[in-house]
Structure 1
Amino acid sequence: MKPFPSFLFLLSLLFCFSSGLFAQKEKMMIIEEGQWKPDSLKSLGEIKVLDDGFKLKCSYLQTLEQALKRTAKAGGNVLSIEEIQKPDAMSTCYRLWGSAYRISDFPQYNKDRIRHCYEIKQTLLNDTASYALVYFIRPVTSQSALVNIKVSVGDTLLKIHNGSRHVVKISNPGQYTIKVKNGFGSKELNLERGVAYFFKLEYFKGAGAVMEQVLPDIGTYYFNKIRSEIINRKG
């Protein structure tokens, strides 16, 4: 089984919301939208952090903190985020919808997720493939929707518009630089034969584009979601 790129670093992000940061008695975990959840998990209830019209402490981190506290109050140690809305014309606050869960064995969850991601990868290409695949996904957002995100993969330049996805076949795997031209994000990667790589893109007004490498469960979730949205737009 080939390891996923930067996998240990990405897994460490799951555990950054611990007792010291949000004053919880036990370690908490966040599962983001599209991330794999075992079928055996049972929801302990919905978690909503909304704007009542008078909120002042409603930045991204403050909203997340409130959601984690409500998760703990419900008896959970896992917050599964289903949607986060950024400030817009309707509200100056971040708003969050999700569910509370409880996982008794975090290390086992990580092992199961690795296995699930490997199974996804096997549906895209097998270990004996002579090429690599690089997926770029840009979910639909209302912010700077008309601005294209420019990304280079080696000598290839892509223009990725709002609500689109692209796949680049790397016929000659090896050392590549993947870089956002009009924003932040650059990765030096040794692209391996038989491996699929996923990058999620977003454009922030006043800051530019941001690129994040994600695992296959999240990557394929957004890839298929964008595909369905494109089909629905075409009617």
Structure 2
Amino acid sequence: MKKLFLLPGIILFTGCATSISTQLAHQNFSKLQNSDPIVVLTEKETLPENSEFVGDIKIGDSGFTIECGYLKVIEDATAKAREAGANIIKIVELTEPAFLGSTCYRLQAKIYRNLDAVAIANISKKRDQKNKSRLPEDSNYALIHFYRPKLSVAALGSFGYKIKDGNDSILGRLRGGEKFVLQTKNFGDQSFFAITETKEEIKIKVEKGKEYFVRGGAIPGIITVRPQLTITENQIGQKEFEAMK
């Protein structure tokens, strides 16, 4: 087993990092402030009228890396758009993690500038609706969906790990193709983690009546696999969770 993971583990430590590239058509726009809203459109959503094309963004992966979950990729794209003076990210292609290709989300997008405050507000409202919890408004609990899609390499998928909370209580187990749902009344800042040869921890601010989606993964380590846990926005997590049988 050591021979199986030794080489990939070395690759992991030698700087295989997420790659971000931009190609701007307009470089004369001022950088946006952190308070300026940046909105994201999916492949199927329509770009509002009078949007001015600013450039292209591509976020990829040159190898095995751990900081490349969905929200991190969107965060990186948002930062690049803000630097270029763009306030709309229009996703062209979003590729889910797949071991043979990459354990990261990868993104290709076009960025635009639109100063119509009403149009931007409408996009934000629609996105909030897509990410809205499906629980009744009077629910006195929250749901946290943990899932780990089955990837193409059986050797990685067969290695499971336990999901624990901040009190070290076991909540469930994730192997490739496994999922479970935690119903909780523990609100506020909560920690969840998995341990193999390393510890992977995430923190969620749990609110009553809300849903959360945590995607599990694994990357090769020195001796065994290393766990990955990433928080995914609801509209992505719902689709991935429900696609698993």
Bin the TM-score by the shorter chain: 0.5 to 0.7
What is the alpha-carbon distance in structure 1 between the residues aligned to residue 213 and residue 97 of structure 2?
Answer: 23
Alpha-carbon distance between aligned partners in 2 of 1:87 and 1:160, rounded to the nearest angstrom: 16
CA distance in 1, matches of 2:181, 2:242: 13
CA separation of 1:82 and 1:194: change in aligned 2, threshold 3 A? same
- Take 1:165 and 1:185, find their aligned partners in 2: how far apart are those partners? 17
Equivalent in 195, 203, 211 of residue 196 of structure 1? 211
**Structure with the higher fraction of residues in strand conformation:** 2
Aligned-CA RMSD value: 4.5
* Whole-angstrom CA distance in 2 between matches of 1:87 and 1:132: 31
Matched to 2:157, the amino acid is A
The partner residue of 1:213 within 216, 228, 231 is: 231
Match in the other structure for 1:185: 200
Query: Quick one: which amino acid aligns to residue 127 of structure 2?
Result: H
CA gap of 1:87–1:145, structure 2 versus 1, over 3 A, is closer
Distance 1:216 1:147 in 2: 26
- Structure 2: gaps (5+ residues): 1-18, 28-37, 49-57, 65-72, 78-88
Q: 1:140 aligns with which of 131, 150, 153?
A: 150
Deviations 1:126-159 (A, max 9, x none): 3321101111121221240101132113423311
Change (3 A) 1:104 1:176: same
Q: TM-score, normalised by structure 2?
A: 0.54
TM-score after normalising by structure 1 = 0.55
For residues 209 and 109 of structure 1, what CA distance do their matches in structure 2 show? 37
The secondary structure found in structure 2 opposite 1:218 is helix
CA drift at 1:213: 1.0
* Correspondent of 2:62 among 59, 63, 66: 59
For 1:163 and 1:149, how far apart are their aligned partners in 2?
A: 13
SS in 2 for 1:152: strand
Higher helix share: 1
Distance across 2 between alignment mates of 1:205 and 1:110: 43
| Greater RCO (Cα-Cα under 8 Å, separation 6 or more) | 2
Deviation at 1:118, TM superposition (A): 3.7
CA distance in 2 between partners of 1:162 and 1:214 (Å): 17
SS at match of 2:157: coil
User: Equivalent pairs: percent with the same residue?
Assistant: 16
Alpha-carbon separation, structure 1, partners of 2:91 and 2:43: 11
